[in-house]
Structure 1
Amino acid sequence: MSSFPFKYTFCQEDTIRNKHEDKGTQRELVKSLVNQRKYLLAAANPGESCEFGSSKYFLLCGLGGMIACGSTHTLVTPLDLVKCRIQVNPQKYKNVGTGFKVTIKEDGIKGLAKGWAPTLLGYSAQGTFKFGLYEVFKVVYHDIIGEEYSYIYRTTLYLAASATAEFFADLALSPMEAVKVKIQTTEGYANTLREAMPKMYKEEGLYSFFKSLGPLWMRQIPYTMMKFSCFERTIEILYQYVVPKPRNECTKAEQLVVTFTAGYIAGIFCAIVSHPADTLVSKLNQKKGSSVGDIVKEIGFMGLWGGIVPRIIMIGTLTALQWFIYDGFKVAMRMPRPPPPEMPESLRRKLGK
């Protein structure tokens, strides 16, 4: 579970208990370690493969993100292709059903897989940075503002960490996203990654791979902010009000079901807030020399929402699967998985709770 370790020194409690039988001494030691944020140097629990906050931990988070994003985006390539074609040519591809029928009629079943290679490469790179750096920046920002403010303003912390991570992730994604959209939406341009990349470079140079970076940031940063913050808070709510027992009493399978549910809820909101920018990305990569203003003027406000239904289905499923795979990867690799955040004892005393 990707949840911020506001009191991750709990991972040392078994060791502390063995060394300090006196409970008062134990509490003072734990408090001291928390205040100094020694959780970054905390020894891994027995059975865990790495220490929380270690280089190995963050690298494994990046690897989990690569697997989660690369596999799921590649899996839904047919739906993504139809969504992009609805956005750029709504007269021909009127809806999801028509989009699939026309594509299969003209290109065969194989045509639905167009763009799978840049999708796999691009979103694998993006997932590595997105998930890996999110975990890094959560720790960095927590360390800056302290334990109590990290709990009080945890939603803001999730938003800031995810936005920063996605900024860098999109730099890795942009070239392959441009190639993918070109293959999927420009008839007769190219059928494979090997055909499209040299052709794009010859026509427009490196600019062709980054010309939609602005709209990509507009699409992906709000999407990722919603993806992580909504997921984190939904997890809290589900365990607090829906799941009939505490998280530590749930089996790993039950925890993964909660993860999938929270991921799907987050995905629906992600699709809605990022869809207009997604349309701009598709149109910009289809039409050489067009600007954002040109596209908006051409298709109007309502045109920005073309393909919203298949994108909600796609992004809801994608987001749920990504969190499920990512959390499942942590379980399989025996990585630390901190529980949902709890109010720090120092703040509880201040508030008289």
Structure 2
Amino acid sequence: MPVRPSLRACAPLLLLAVAGCTLGSSTGTSSQPRGTPVPTATAVGTPLGLATAIQIGPEGGALAADDGAWTLTVPAGAVAAATTFSATPLTSHAPGALTQTVRLEADQPLAGPVKVTFKGLGSSYPSGVALKSLAIRYQDARGFWVAPDGLSYDAAADTVTATTPHLSDWALVLGQTPDLQGTFTLTQTVGVPFTASGTGALYAWTSATEPTYWMTGTVTLDADTLTAGSATCTPDARAHDLELSVAEVHGADFRWGMNARWALTCTDPSLSQDLATLFDTLQINLTSCGGSYVGTQVNGDSFIQGQYTKTCGTGGVVSATWDFRACWDGLSCQPSDPCRTGTTTCNGGIGTCNPTGNAADGTPCGTSGACVAGACVGG
């Protein structure tokens, strides 16, 4: 079952220079207005474990995560006969994902809508984030993360629910559109050495006095196994979500960090441990190690790029590079016409989705139509 991230209250890893949890009450405004990023498709998530399944009949029922992170509710009449519903945890590529993605499937067609419910952040809402800051997205057949037609919120239960006529891959996300998205790399030779890469989404916190962002993302180890001396270590999963945190542009520097953790099982039992990312640009981790930015940073309205390395002498190094942008040229995107495909072009960080071809015949469009030769038929 998906494991919910343990969000740190008020995201202390990166608030630092902004006093405590006071960003939400600041009277300043962001100096980084941007256009709306063009929607782009992402890869499909990778299974993180075996599917769980339950049979539900016309009388209705429910399938839920062991930890209560999500629930699929099948009302009476939503299926016409006994139907096997299954759920598979996946790595999440949804922009702004706060949990792993869950793939929900059924072996019979639905006769009516079902409900997908995600639990909120409980006691871990940072300052400036509330239940209604959250949303649910599903990934369609083309890889785009789509908002369901309607969401409902239950503050007492701390849940957000989507009512849907279909099943797909679903994720709990921050509800606004990311201002910047991109990639990062990580090299860590302190302790058990490893390299990893990841994706991140940054959401502007517009009440801050400096350009400040909520950040979510996923970090993935570059190998299935790690080597420490003569021992081999196997992580519980290659990919883990970054905990929700805060990043900021302070003067000439982009200040941020990673906070993800893997459970290792090693051939040398003494090395079996939790493996944590130790990268940050403010010496919160590895306080005795020197750190500095490498080369020239770019911290503009449309690009945040750079590299930072911590050196711990014979103890190893921790180094990361990052490239977050408001827009990426040449990405696949979805034009306003669902029966067309497109690619992005960028101008000053504002993206335009240019139609380049026809969507595959049979692509859903309208309320009940399908695309044929680039036109919506029956919708």
Q: What TM-score do you get using the length of structure 2 for normalisation?
A: 0.22
TM-score normalised by the chain length of structure 1: 0.23
More helix by share: 1
Q: Which protein has the bigger strand share? A: 2
Specify which structure has the bigger relative contact order, considering alpha-carbon pairs within 8 angstroms and separated by 6 or more residues. Answer: 1
